[in-house]
Structure 1
Amino acid sequence: MRHRAWVDSLPPLLTADGIEYDKSTIVPYSYRHTYAQRHADAGVPLDVLRALMDHEMLSATRKYYRVGEKRRRRAVDRVAVMQFDRHGTRIRRRVQALLDSEHARWAVGEVVVPFGVCAEPSNVKAGGHACPFRFRCAGCDHFRTDISYLPDLRTYLDDVLRNRERLLVADAGSTEVDDWVRAEAMPSDEEIRRVQRLVHRIKSDLDDLTAEERARIDQAVAVVRRHRTVMLGMPRVRQPLSDIRPERSA
């Protein structure tokens, strides 16, 4: 009774869409549900959330993840409206909510790569580990990116510019490397221009949004990035493990 009196004394509670929330649905159990859902949306593993909630059956815990998936899909659809190809051209401008089958088709036909997705068939089949173009995404027509990758594109651009300066300093110091090594390591001016143009185009489209649209996009980006493992920088070749076996005496 004290809890109900306190809830009823609160001013009108509005949702993100400006709709008044029905305070009669706020009961003490709601806090437990909110606690579980916030953990599920934050990516807490299923077994960990089950222990936190003291559930006997995993099926009870999975209910929270199904709701979280709906939220992620809405965020993905919203972010997809601001998707760009390698030239900075907006694609899928008139995206609508996709059916389950359509989501599956896009998921099967694309694979996550640095700073976006790739639709090159052999790379998709290999799960993103068989790029025939050595991950030169900025120059490939199979590459797509969206607003949620803008921080990663900026970071990559900063790294490329920094590496170019380091290589120029190394050239001035007559570092002993072959010419082909220098050519491979030196970021090309065209790649830098492509990434700069892509970053500028995404930023300019963001600036054209209203404050309300920008807030919705920012919220969707936060959800998408929270539920995605972001790979910064270009793929690297894993270094061989050192031989840690003890030496045997003769």
Structure 2
Amino acid sequence: MVSSGAITPKAFGQFQYPTSPLVTEKRTRAAVDKLVSHQFDRHGNKIWTQARQLLEHEHARLRIGQVSVPYGICVEPSNVKAGGHSCPFRFRCVGCDHFRTDPSYLPELRTYLDTLLRDRERLAAASDLDAWARTEATPSDEEIKRIRTLIRRVETDLDGLTEDEREQIKDATRTLRKSRTVSLGMPGIRPPEPDLRLERDA
């Protein structure tokens, strides 16, 4: 049995981020350039410690070498090749070294954390499940801790920016989110509200 924290292959099959015709390639590239220096791995460590512009071949490499997942991106080769439909690790994204996330996924991270906490409470109160079934279906403390860490690291990173820098990140985030579908196609996760932490400074 896959725990409630796991993302099923079927859910990933429904989950796509098609490019919106309203978002130009130039704007998308500029947004990626702005957010790439604020990208984190599964431990909450920054991937790139220095801001730098992506070269043309790097943009192409990123498009080919990664695939969208519900609250970030995946760079695992076999999953990328299969368009996100063939994760060899049962879609345990936040436990995988191939996972990346950035501020544009902050609403999804928060929604996923809320879902994990809600599912944990619901399953703890369930009386019609065998102990082994409850154990496997209950989100792990480690996954909840990992999501909290990612959220905290992204928020702390944003807090350290100047007002102008936060405005630029907010604009880049809006651009990238416009290029994604609103519905994630994931069972049990409501579409997140578009209010980012950055909005407080608006």
TM-score > 0.5 by shorter chain: yes
Letter in 2 for 1:43: S
Q: Any idea what the Cα deviations from partners look like across 1:193-216, whole Å, max 9, x if unmatched?
A: 000011011111111111111111
User: Matches of residues 151-230 of structure 1 in structure 2 within 5 Å?
Assistant: 151-170=107-126, 174-175=127-128, 177-229=129-181
1:88 aligns with 2:44: yes
Aligned length in residues: 170
1:43 aligns with 2:20: yes
Aligned residue number for residue 105 of structure 1: 61
Give 3-state SS (helix, strand or coil) of 1:89's partner.
Answer: coil
Cα separation, 2, equivalents of 1:99 and 1:228: 23
Cα separation, 2, equivalents of 1:218 and 1:87: 23
1:122 aligns with 2:71: no
Cα separation, 1, equivalents of 2:183 and 2:53: 27
Give % identity. 59
Give 3-state SS (helix, strand or coil) of 2:111's partner.
Answer: helix
Deviation at 1:234, TM superposition (A): 4.9
Considering Cα pairs closer than 8 Å and 6+ residues apart, tell me whether 1 or 2 has the greater RCO. 2
Give 3-state SS (helix, strand or coil) of 1:84's partner.
Answer: coil
Give unpaired runs (5+ residues) of structure 1.
1-41, 46-64, 237-250
Query: Given the two structures, how large is their TM-score scaled by the length of structure 2?
Result: 0.78
Deviation at 1:126, TM superposition (A): 0.8
Q: Any idea what the Cα deviations from partners look like across 1:30-81, whole Å, max 9, x if unmatched?
A: xxxxxxxxxxxx9357xxxxxxxxxxxxxxxxxxx7xx21111101110111
Cα separation, 2, equivalents of 1:232 and 1:93: 30
Which structure has the larger Rg?
1
Deviation at 1:96, TM superposition (A): 2.1
Contact 1:156/1:232, CA 8 A, preserved across alignment: no
1:71 aligns with 2:27: yes
Contact 1:135/1:234, CA 8 A, preserved across alignment: no
**Residue 85 to residue 233, structure 1, CA distance change in 2 (3 Å):** farther
**Residue 190 to residue 164, structure 1, CA distance change in 2 (3 Å):** same
Contact 1:114/1:231, CA 8 A, preserved across alignment: no
**Residue 80 to residue 198, structure 1, CA distance change in 2 (3 Å):** same
